[in-house]
């Protein structure tokens, strides 16, 4: 996550409260505004800035990127196990659409599932396209997010039901 912690051991919270005097509001600020990419990198919650800092040699940016990649792969693995397999892997929203390096690293770690990424397609800012190789057992999609359209569509459906 950009600035939020994601899942953590709840014992961390009681430790910080008891041993460091953290108030509930300080814990909230720490967990929701100073964690994630921002906390690990010490730079930003914006993945573009993290990648730029990695290019400049920042160890903390590399660490933040590696943690993000690890957690993403772990969550994908959990979903694959829960669903009993995977047909497609969709990268979307700001990070998924705009970070070819992340897509490449994730797909490399998921090759054991039959994921085969076309690195050339992946590198050229694809949008609403399949970036997997033809022989990939799992399709790799980069899908543009249009949250405003989805919200409008859902509102329209609700209004139609009321009439």
Average the pLDDT over 79-88 and give the result: 97
On whether the 86-163 domain is CATH 3.40.50.2300, my answer is: no
Kindly report, residue by residue over 2-23, the tens digit of the pLDDT. Answer: 889 988 999 999 999 999 999 9
Q: Where are the domains of the chain?
A: 1-85, 86-163
Do 86-163 and 1-85 have the same topology in CATH?
yes
Above 90 in pLDDT, residue 86?
yes
Nearest by Cα to 121 from 134, 111, 109: 134
Quick one: fold of 1-85?
Nucleotidyltransferase; domain 5 (3.30.420)
Above 80 in pLDDT, residue 152?
yes
Tokens of 1: 């996550």
Average the pLDDT over 31-43 and give the result: 93
Above 80 in pLDDT, residue 126?
no
pLDDT of residue 80: 97
Q: Is the separation of the CB atoms in 99 and 125 below 8 Å?
A: no
pLDDT of residue 64: 96
């Amino acid at each position: 996550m950009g600035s939020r912690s994601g899942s953590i051991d709840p014992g961390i919270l009681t430790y910080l409260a008891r041993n460091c005097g953290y108030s509930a509001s300080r814990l909230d600020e720490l967990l929701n505004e100073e964690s994630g990419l921002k906390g690990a990198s010490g730079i930003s919650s914006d993945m573009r800035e993290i990648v730029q800092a990695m290019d400049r040699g920042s160890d903390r940016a590399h660490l933040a990127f590696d943690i993000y990649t690890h957690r993403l792969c772990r969550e994908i693995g959990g979903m694959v196990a829960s669903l009993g397999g995977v047909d497609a892997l969709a990268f979307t929203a700001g990070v998924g659409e705009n970070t070819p390096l992340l897509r490449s690293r994730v797909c490399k770690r998921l090759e054991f599932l039959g994921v085969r990424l076309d690195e050339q397609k992946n590198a050229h800012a694809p949008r609403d396209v399949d970036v997997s190789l033809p022989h990939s057992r799992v399709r790799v999609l980069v899908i543009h997010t249009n949250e405003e359209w989805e919200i409008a569509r859902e509102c329209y459906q609700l209004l139609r039901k009321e009439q």
